Structure 1
């Protein structure tokens, strides 16, 4: 199975001046765990994830004053739509992150997450759930 089969095509794009609260609201409304940050000054793409926002809040940062710019990962690993899910999972494992921006001809066409990959590898629809394990 390929990344294009698993990725979400809902790509939330924000600017570096969005506050963390604005980013969180947009991510929540779109039900996504990451936003692509497009900085027109650098012509580059970055990513802001739910973990980045959580870490900022945990460090006592004010979500109404902190901007995406200060919390965006800019050394992003990108996936191609024709990567296998194994290649995407390996890249995530090596980089210790949970989201990959999918680029096609230098354009963000999707985001694939660990959850997306798991859903493809272990579809629950139509299958009986595994019994609960108790200790």
Structure 2
């Protein structure tokens, strides 16, 4: 199975000046765990994840004052839609992260997460049989 088969095509894009609260609200509304941060001044892409927001809150920072750019990972590993899920899982394991931005022709077309990969690899849930004794 390939990354294109597992990825979410909902790509939330925010700017570097968004506050963490704004980012969290947008992520929650779209049911995603990461946002692509597009900085028009540098033409670069970064990623802000739920973990980044949690780490900021955990250190007592204000989600209304902290800007996304201060918590964005800019040294991003990108996936191609043609990667296998094994390749994506290896990249995540090697880098210690849970999301990959999927790029095609220089544009973000999706995000694949550990959860997406597990969903594809895990067998479908079946009801547990009831024992009658």
Matched residue, 1:42: 42
Matched residue, 1:85: 85
Q: When the two structures are aligned, how many residues end up with a matched partner?
A: 129
Structure 2 SS opposite 1:45: strand
Q: Unpaired runs of 5+ in structure 1?
A: 131-135
Matched residue, 1:110: 110
Report which of the two structures shows the higher radius of gyration computed on alpha carbons: 2
Name the TM-score, length of structure 1 as normaliser.
Answer: 0.93
Structure 2 SS opposite 1:5: helix
Name the TM-score, length of structure 2 as normaliser.
Answer: 0.94
In structure 2, C-alpha distance between the alignment counterparts of 1:97 and 1:30, rounded to whole Å: 21
Q: Unpaired runs of 5+ in structure 2?
A: none
Shift of 1:23: 0.1
In structure 1, C-alpha distance between the alignment counterparts of 2:59 and 2:109, rounded to whole Å: 32
Shift of 1:123: 3.8
